[in-house]
Chains A and B, each alone.
Chain A
Amino acid sequence: MKIDPNAWPLVDALHDVHDPETGLDVVDMGLVYEVAFRPEDGAARVVMTLTTPACPAGGVLLDGVERRLREVEGVRRVEVELTFEPRWSTERISEAGRRALGWS
């Protein structure tokens, strides 16, 4: 995950957006690829993916990310970009996520 040095408060906020099936948040699921923030004009940008293009919760997760980031202090504009390059795989799940899934 590529994180702009100014963007850590946004990453913290993204921990509040959960996948409805696994219960994991989008960061621990490994769905977030990039987070950037420009304090001067309040522009936040997230590049993220879904577990599969046919993810039935796709729209909800994207909307949830946008809604949550708008709540962060200093954020005035949010851009959420969806990509499937590279494709998501289970290796992207964080250690905390693996523990929550009962895997390690």
Chain B
Amino acid sequence: MNPVLASRHAPSFALIQAHFGAGLAGACLFAATLGAKALSLEGHFFQGAFLGLVHLCVLGWLMPIAVGAMHQLVPVVFEVPVRSERLAWTALGLYVPGVAALVAQMWTLHNGWTFAAAGVLVAASLWLYAANLLATLARTRTRTLTGCYVIAALIWLLVAVTLGAGLAVHLHAPWLRINHLQLLRVHAHTAGFGFFGLLIMGVAFRLLEMFLLAYGADERAGRIAFLATNAGLVLVSFGLGLPARALTLAGAGAITAGVIAFLVQVRLIWRRRTRRTGEAAQALTLASFAHLLVVALLGAALALLDLEQETLDRLTLAYGLLALPGFVGSVVVGQLYKILPFLVWLHRFAPYVGLKQVPSAGEILPEGPRRLQAIAMQLGLALLAVGLVAALPWLRAAGATIFAASILLATRNFVRILRSQP
């Protein structure tokens, strides 16, 4: 009897398309807003416009795509169907209006009951997502390093959204005894490094193996990265929350060590690759990992150094930029260039395999538009980062404009892929 095929566990394409569609709409909105606000991106991070921008980036763009990709990846990689596809649709139905209401009110720093309610709605939808995927993973018999990363990422997501909902309620009706800025920092790090960081690191091992045909690398560096990053996150969370500088420093050191171990693991996989590929998707993924290293080092420096407020503000903004659109955004766009053509191929071209000549997934869209988009995205991010650190408004505007153009180009590329027919 044939073994049960993992690919048969994939959920409906409509579910994945709905998440990716929401994410691409969020990406365009974020890029346009970033371009419009670039000249005034200065000062302390606790401003309505910054909070709105960051949440538009994370909740509008990155999160729906990450969640959509997880719903495709988890059933296939862990060989078990999603616990409840209906629950995933319900979560999306709560999520989209929740994020729209939250970001709009955050932008104006409107902290009425509707703001708190929007925060709780978004948190509820993400709890449902996390619970559904954790229940899915609980049914798998496949025990892998990637599985450990995904489970840890989902647990950190639960922590981050619970803190976020608590903060939203606190800004409406204060109930916390600690400074909300301290908790906001914990919220940002548990979401950024805890959820996105661990998810990307864990999934990267699997996707790099698959796309590069690079199986069999020693996993010890990946295990060290897992332990160091999680330990560092616990220390940083307590260090920023209490606050206790020694804990923050120790945690930042552990996270940096974790990131370096992760990069060592990536190098081990890369060296075993059977495919020599100059694809934009892989270039964006490697650029993302470079952003991650800079973010980890910058985070450690911010924890270590006593900087004057203005310098601290500038570096904090650059830190956020390189972490979110830089690290997470680059890998999201890069991997979407691999995942989306494959899914379109699977659902539209696969029925003709064996009957007539069909293009490979990579041939659905020529490489040129992807390369152009990847270059523009990295150039825009670099100019924007330098503009933030050097407090040069014209450079920020130039960088944000190029970045926004690159996101629009990426969206055009993705729409072309989605519309392709055999």
- Within residues 56 to 104 of chain A, which ones have a CB less than 8 A from any CB in chain B? 56-69, 71, 80-84, 89-90, 93, 98, 101-103
The interface residues of chain B, by DSSP majority, are classed as: loop
Contact of B354 among A56, A58, A67, A84 (CB under 8 A): A67
B363 at the interface (CB under 8 A from A): yes
Evaluate contact between A21 and B342: CB separation under 8 angstroms: yes
Q: How close is B285's CB to chain A, nearest CB, in angstroms?
A: 15
**Looking across the interface, which residue of chain B has its beta carbon closest to that of A90?**
B274
A27 located at the interface, meaning its Cβ lies under 8 Å from any Cβ of chain B in the complex: no
Q: Does B336 contact A (CB under 8 A)?
A: no
The interface bits of chain A over 21-58 (1 if a CB of B lies within 8 angstroms of the residue's CB, else 0) are 11100000000000000000000000000011111111
B354-395 vs A, Cβ < 8 Å mask (1 yes, 0 no): 110110111100000000000000000000000000000000
Contact B77 A54, beta carbon cutoff 8 Å: yes
Please, how many angstroms separate the alpha-carbon atoms of A94 and B77 in the complex? 26
Complex contact B2–A81 (CB within 8 A): yes
Task: Please report the C-alpha to C-alpha distance between residue A90 and residue B273 in the assembled complex, in whole angstroms.
Answer: 9
CB of B22 closer than 8 Å to a CB of A? no
User: Does B213 sit at the interface, judged by CB under 8 A?
Assistant: yes
- Chain B interface residues toward A at CB < 8 A: 2-3, 5-8, 10, 76-79, 142, 206, 209-211, 213, 215-216, 274-277, 342, 345-346, 349-350, 353-355, 357-358, 360-363
Residues of A within 8 A of B213 (CB): 22, 51, 90, 93, 101
Closest to B360 in A: A23
Cβ contact within 8 Å between B8 and A21: no
Q: How far is the CA of A69 from the CA of B354 in the complex (A)?
A: 8
Q: Is A5 at the interface (CB under 8 A from chain B)?
A: no
Q: Is A21 touching B211 in the complex (CB atoms < 8 A)?
A: yes
A84 vs B357: C-alpha distance in the bound complex, in angstroms? 28
